[in-house]
Structure 1
Amino acid sequence: MNMYITYGTKDYLQQKMPPDSLLLEGDTNAAVIVETNGENPFQEHHSYEIINKRGDLEAAGFVVMNHIPVSEEGRSRFEERFQNRAGLVDQEPGFHAIRILRPLTNDPYIVMTFWESQASFVSWQQSKAYQEAHKDRGTSNGLPQNLFTGPSFVKEYAVERT
């Protein structure tokens, strides 16, 4: 299964939305995502293979996209870490879904989580489960920094119901 993402202004994207897509509204831009086994519906897009998938996108009201640039040599190790993740986030109040996205081009990986609300996401960030899930970050038990080609960055979006 693949996910296709396109970015732009909310007004422009609303005119281009294919069936079964989600419109995401951020502070400075918007995005439309489509999860499908079918063809890419966009002209301008970012293409990903979904390599880890849990939960349902339907009821989510808030989306966090953590973009992680991974070196070519680090891809298998990075993917292995997420295939064997503890899944602690899955049990958090307000959590709806997670998608780990492998880029089909030169884009960064994306760890995308879907939440009931921004407040649910913030509660997760302040939880003991979050601390446990991220305890190895920056340590010898975590992924080596040379697997990454740059810093990660996060984008947050409200799900816009059309």
Structure 2
Amino acid sequence: MNIYMTAGTFDFLKRMENMYPNEKMVTMINENGALLLHETMGKTKFNQPRRYEVFESVGEIKKEGLAVMNHVSVTDEGRPVFEHQCKGEAGNLKSTPGLMALRLLRPLSTNTYVFLTVWETEVYYQGWQNSTSFFKIDQNNIIGSQQKVFTSAPYVSKYSITE
């Protein structure tokens, strides 16, 4: 399974989503603009997307909720350790209240992974953030690693998913 993302205006991306009703596409928006996510086993309909391979998946991404994306740039040497750690965390998250979907995305053309979670509401996401099970992505979380794993500081982007 692959996920492709492209950015643009909400209206333009929503029209693109509506042009392909048989494709699994979701338009999201935040204060910086809009994003269209395309999840497929086939090829994307986008011209120049950000391309990812899904290496862990929980739930279904629906056309509602809060999407939170943790963007993490990882060195080539650090990829196996990082992926192993993330898979473990994904397993722990499966039964978290309010979590609708999770995708761990391996980049196909860059070094930036995306840890995508979709929540029923912001309240559920904040509840998880304040819990003891919250997975903070940082150098200290990579168990037993003596090597440099990250190439830059991780960052988070949040999007509202609405019809």
Q: Which residue of 1 aligns with 2:162?
A: 160
Q: Which residue of 2 aligns with 1:34?
A: 38
Q: Which residue of 1 aligns with 2:5?
A: 5
How many aligned positions are there? 159
Q: Which residue of 2 aligns with 1:95?
A: 99
Kept in 1, the 8 Å contact 2:90–2:102? The answer is: no
Structure 1 segments, 4+ long, off by >4 Å, are 133-137, 142-145
RMSD: 2.2
Q: Which residue of 2 aligns with 1:79?
A: 83
TM-score (norm: length of structure 2): 0.87
More divergent stretch after superposition (66-75 vs 85-94) = 85-94
Q: Does residue 108 of structure 2 align to residue 104 of structure 1?
A: yes
**Using the alignment, how far apart are the partners of 2:34 and 2:137 within structure 1?**
32
Task: Tell me the SS of whatever aligns to 2:37.
Answer: strand
> Which sections of structure 1, spanning at least 5 residues, go unmatched?
none
Deviation digits for residues 111-139 of structure 1, max 9, x if unmatched? 00011011111111111222xx4498626
- Percent identical pairs in the alignment equals 33
**Distance change (3 Å), C-alpha of 1:150 and 1:134:** closer
**Using the alignment, how far apart are the partners of 1:43 and 1:10 within structure 2?**
17
**Using the alignment, how far apart are the partners of 2:138 and 2:107 within structure 1?**
24
**Using the alignment, how far apart are the partners of 1:46 and 1:137 within structure 2?**
25
Task: Tell me the SS of whatever aligns to 1:65.
Answer: strand
Deviation digits for residues 7-57 of structure 1, max 9, x if unmatched? 122122122223321001111111010111011110121010000011111
**Using the alignment, how far apart are the partners of 2:141 and 2:71 within structure 1?**
20
Deviation digits for residues 36-82 of structure 1, max 9, x if unmatched? 10111101210100000111112641100000000111111111212
Q: Does residue 144 of structure 2 align to residue 146 of structure 1?
A: no
Q: Which residue of 2 aligns with 1:125?
A: 129
